[in-house]
């Protein structure tokens, strides 16, 4: 029985290049974030990210989803450094990137700000959202919740237009038989993060998911391995999974992990999936398998809407 593996990592927060700031940044949110980075650089370690990427490459997944916060201040040099990092990983068609709030920290809004990452956003050849990528048995619905925010806020927003297009894409019968994965940076369920960091239009997203359904939602942003759930059509439950930062140091609150989503055909003609968790174990060098879970069990475990359960 063939298994299709999608790897999920998030929030690498790549170290900023030395010239990541310009004089224009003096009065912007970037300056505040630069101050915050002095603290964060102790948490986000390039050697940890390198070990995680090596572990992921050794597992040879069929596709990789990266759910945002590649950068810290979203300066042009950082966006280009992140592009170089993405290029180093492999062919862009094997990697799907959903931008995070740190990738849109300040300046103009709109998806065109991610033009430099176009080959990693989808197959459309433009920086637009959502984009649907069909890979193996999966259809990946890539959203962008990254918008510039006021200082000390890390909220996200999808907007009515993106949600309308998501509604239509999820309803498209061409994807009905596929394993439908919705990807965005901010968690869609209530209570997953504080209001200061939450998705502004999460109610509207949950309404689309309740109407159209999906098999799995992946997110980052919380820097934790969260398992939650949102309602699908006819009282069904859609599992929601968050993964910690891919560069978070060992010994901290939530050390680096990545998840493998293994999709296979079930005996009843349907599809089933399991999650394999790989991460840093205390007192050990490198990454190891920390557990494996069936998606059905995870959905059962999750408490609707208010869940902050850890995986
Ligand atoms: Fe982050
Ligand atoms: Fe974030």
Q: How far is the CA of 154 from the centre of ligand 1 (A)?
A: 9
Asked if 244 contacts 224 with a C-beta cutoff of 8 angstroms, the reply is yes
- What distance lies between CA 141 and its chain's CA centroid? 12
Rounded to whole angstroms, the Cα distance separating 302 from 200 reads: 22
Q: How far is the CA of 12 from the centre of ligand 2 (A)?
A: 10
Ligand nearest to the CA of 197: 2
Domain boundaries, the chain: 3-310
Ligand nearest to the CA of 101: 2
Report the CATH architecture of 3-310.
Answer: 4-Layer Sandwich (3.60)
Q: Tens of pLDDT along 189-213?
A: 988 999 999 999 999 999 999 999 9
Single pTM value for the model: 0.93
Ligand nearest to the CA of 100: 2
Location of structure tokens 């009843």: 268
What is the pLDDT, as a whole number, of residue 310?
A: 72
Using DSSP, state whether 288 is helix, strand or coil. Answer: strand
Residue 209: exposed, middle, or buried by beta-carbon count in 10 A (0-12, 13-18, 19+)?
A: buried
pLDDT, the chain, mean: 90
Using DSSP, state whether 203 is helix, strand or coil. Answer: helix
Q: Tens of pLDDT along 58-95?
A: 999 999 999 999 999 888 899 999 999 999 999 999 99
Q: How far is the CA of 299 from the centre of ligand 1 (A)?
A: 25
Rg (CA), the chain: 18
Q: Tens of pLDDT along 119-154?
A: 999 999 999 999 999 999 999 999 999 998 887 889
What is the pLDDT, as a whole number, of residue 27?
A: 46
Asked if 289 contacts 277 with a C-beta cutoff of 8 angstroms, the reply is yes
Using DSSP, state whether 310 is helix, strand or coil. Answer: strand
**Torsion angle of the four alpha carbons 72, 68, 308, 149, in this order, in degrees rounded to the nearest 10:** 60
Asked if 46 contacts 13 with a C-beta cutoff of 8 angstroms, the reply is no
């Amino acid at each position: 029985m063939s298994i299709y593996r999608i790897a999920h990592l998030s929030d690498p927060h790549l170290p900023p290049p030395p010239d990541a700031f310009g004089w224009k940044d003096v009065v912007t949110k970037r300056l505040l974030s630069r101050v915050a980075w002095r603290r964060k650089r102790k948490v986000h370690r390039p050697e940890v990210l390198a070990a995680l990427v090596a572990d992921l490459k050794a597992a040879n997944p069929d596709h990789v989803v990266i759910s945002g916060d590649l950068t810290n201040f979203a300066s042009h040099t950082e966006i280009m450094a992140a592009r170089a990092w993405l290029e180093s990983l492999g062919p862009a068609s094997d990697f799907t990137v959903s931008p995070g709030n740190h990738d849109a920290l300040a300046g103009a809004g709109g998806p065109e700000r991610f033009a430099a990452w176009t080959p990693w956003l989808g197959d459309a050849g433009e920086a637009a959202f959502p984009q649907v990528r069909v890979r193996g048995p999966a259809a990946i619905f890539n959203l962008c919740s990254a918008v510039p925010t006021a200082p000390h806020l890390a909220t996200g927003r999808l907007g009515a237009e993106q949600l309308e297009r998501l509604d239509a894409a999820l309803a498209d019968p061409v994807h009905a038989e596929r394993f439908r994965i919705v990807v965005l940076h901010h968690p869609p369920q209530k209570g997953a993060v504080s209001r200061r960091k939450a998705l502004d239009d999460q109610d509207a997203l949950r309404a689309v998911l309740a109407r159209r359904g999906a098999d799995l939602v992946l997110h980052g942003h919380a820097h934790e391995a969260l398992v939650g759930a949102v309602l699908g059509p006819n009282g069904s439950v859609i599992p929601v999974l968050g993964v910690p930062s891919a560069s978070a140091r060992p010994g901290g609150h939530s050390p680096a992990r990545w998840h493998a989503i293994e999709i296979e055909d079930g005996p009843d003609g349907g599809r089933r999936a399991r999650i394999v968790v790989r991460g840093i174990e205390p007192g050990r060098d490198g990454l190891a398998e920390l557990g494996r879970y069936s998606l059905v069990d995870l959905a059962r475990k999750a408490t609707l809407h208010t869940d902050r359960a850890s995986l």
